[in-house]
Structure 1
Amino acid sequence: MSKGIILCVDDDSTVLNALRTLIGKIFGNDHLVEIAESASEALEIIEDHHKRGLQLSVVISDYIMPWMRGDELLIKLHEMYPAAIKIMLTGQSDLEGVKKAINDANLYRFIEKPFNNADLILTIRSALRAFHHEAQLNAEIDALKLQLEQKDGELAQLRGTATA
């Protein structure tokens, strides 16, 4: 299995460094941990990695950021990479963005700041399991579709032979 990407987005460099250290220590052997200080930087990073064949597995985004809020970023990423698991961090009590992300970006989990390290790690671990489980199911569905198409082709040949 190729390395997936865990992307952390926050305009606070202290939070980003803490996330990179914590997540890198636990998941860094199996996943590429990337950080971005803005939504635009996050989109650039993901686009670059996508061109190299790396897949976005999990994105953890702050809600309040300049240029583009976290809910908007998660919605955009969901449109581009619907299988990626989306997690939102926020210190704000306004839940409108969380509701928007739940409805429009398939938000996996919302975590309030300051976050608990153990809770965040458990959430990421669970998110990665969900991501890989869905990928496995999709691969099995694709294989079954291919088998059905092959059987359909065989049936069509048999029908053509029977009428000839």
Structure 2
Amino acid sequence: MSKPVILCVDDEKVVLDSLKSQLKQAFGDKYFYEMAEDGADALDAIQELMEDSIPIVMIVSDWLMPGMKGDELLIRIHQQYPNIVKIMLTGQAEPSAIERAKQEANLSFCLHKPWSEEELVTAIQASLAKL
């Protein structure tokens, strides 16, 4: 059986690189770490992973991205895959968008950029402990 996936979504490559590095350091080889640069790429990646029967345990998504904002992406994912844990990162999310994601996507955590590695790891561990 394949290792579960944590999917990170952000339109800034430097943020994705940072997330991947921090996740690998904290969780090692326990998970696969997939990266997507926007909502459409994330939805495509999820579909491919699901078709290959690879479990996705978590989405860590930015809020402000071109095309589709993070709250909309997480709500769409939640409608199809309610068991995937969802964390949103933001530098400037509107409070209403965060609340909407909590209500409609079962958002586990919202972390504000720049986040600390400890804050990220703690949020992920707490979220995964609920599974």
**How many residues in Structure 1 have an aligned counterpart in Structure 2?**
131
Structure 1, residues 69-125: CA drift from partner, whole Å, max 9, x if none? 000000011011100111010000521110110110000011100001111011111
Give the alignment of 1:77-116 within 5 angstroms. 77-92=77-92, 94-116=94-116
Structure 2: runs of 5 or more not aligned? none
Structure 1: runs of 5 or more not aligned? 132-164
Give me the CA root mean square deviation. 1.2
Give the alignment of 1:78-157 within 5 angstroms. 78-92=78-92, 94-131=94-131
Shift of 1:28: 3.7
Q: Secondary structure at the match of 1:92?
A: coil
CA distance in 1, matches of 2:19, 2:35: 8
Q: Normalising by structure 2, what TM-score?
A: 0.95
- Residue identity opposite 1:27 in structure 2: F
- Residue identity opposite 2:20 in structure 1: R
Runs of 4+ in 1 over 4 A off after TM superposition: none
In the other structure, the counterpart of 1:56 is 56
Is contact 2:64–2:93 with CA below 8 Å preserved after alignment? Answer: no
Q: By percentage of residues, which structure has more helix? A: 1
Aligned-pair identity in percent equals: 38
Change (3 A) 1:42 1:115: same
The structure whose Rg is larger is: 1
